[in-house]
Amino acid sequence: MKHEAVEKNIGLLAFFMVIAVSVGGLTQIVPLFFQDVTNKPVEGMKPRTALELEGRDVYIANGCVGCHSQMIRPFRAETERYGHYSVAGESVWDHPFLWGSKRTGPDLARVGGRYSDDWQRAHLYNPRNVVPESKMPAYPFLVENKLDGKDTAKKMEVLRSLGVPYTDEDIAGARDAVKGKTEMDALVAYLQGLGTIIKSKR
């Protein structure tokens, strides 16, 4: 069969494309599902608290993932700047993953504990107060937006069905855990929990 015949027949071209992608997927992706390193949590990892879980949703809702990655690649330039490279076991309970694909701002995979809560609050309220050259938008409204917590327990139940080891006590106490908290409190809690299991010198 001539290559020209395949290029001119869209059905045949589509068929061969599907075959090529299927073979590639079977050989590259499927084996990952059977490796412990990709589907078992890092030793010592605990599920996110109710407040951190709400903070993760605030992070998603405000588009933070559009400018910040949470994936440190195993390159010297990245590990010297951000810390230990990311490993699959850190993300097994994240649904969806927030690895990101763009870095307008720095990678946040190991930001937990790097700055104080007060610094994080000041930075989120108005980034230019602490980093004058920052391009990040300000989020002062996070201080005013209260969490109602009505869906927190349901989120935890769904995550438990996906393999996150939340206990009945975690789920029962979810609403009380976020009672009186703001979106700012939640986002700071989420950021302070990022990358704290694996630590190495920058």
Per-residue pLDDT of 28-81, as tens digits, reads: 887 777 776 667 888 889 999 999 999 999 999 999 999 999 999 999 999 999
**173 and 90 both lie in a single domain:** yes
**109 and 21 both lie in a single domain:** no
C-beta of residue 190 within 8 angstroms of C-beta of residue 59: yes
What phi, psi does 69 have (nearest 5°)?
-90, 165
**112 and 22 both lie in a single domain:** no
What phi, psi does 138 have (nearest 5°)?
-85, 150
**92 and 146 both lie in a single domain:** yes
Q: Which helix (H) or strand (E) holds 3?
A: helix 3-8
**Six-digit token string for 127:** 């980034």
Please tell me the pTM assigned to this model. Answer: 0.83
SS3 97: coil
**25 and 82 both lie in a single domain:** no
Domain that holds residue 72: 42-193
Integer Cα distance of 120 and 22 in angstroms: 45
**182 and 141 both lie in a single domain:** yes
Residue 37, pLDDT score = 64
The DSSP secondary structure of 132-201, one letter per residue, reads TT--PPP-GGGGT-B---TTHHHHHHHHHHTT----HHHHHTHHHHHTT-BHHHHHHHHHHTTT-SS---
**77 and 175 both lie in a single domain:** yes
Integer Cα distance of 114 and 183 in angstroms: 20
**pLDDT tens-digit series, residues 81-99:** 999 999 988 999 999 999 9
- Which residue, among 109, 108, 102, 106, has the nearest Cα to 88 in the 3D structure? 109
* 64 beta partners: none
CA 44, 46, 51, 56 torsion-angle sign:
positive
CATH number at residue 50: 1.10.760.10
Tally of domains within the chain: 2
Integer Cα distance of 98 and 185 in angstroms: 20
* 125 vs 199: which has the higher pLDDT: 125
Instruction: Place 201 in a pLDDT band, splitting at 50, 70 and 90.
Output: very low
**16 and 98 both lie in a single domain:** no
Which residues lie below 8 Å from residue 159, measured CB to CB, with a gap of 6+? Answer: 47, 53, 93, 95, 166
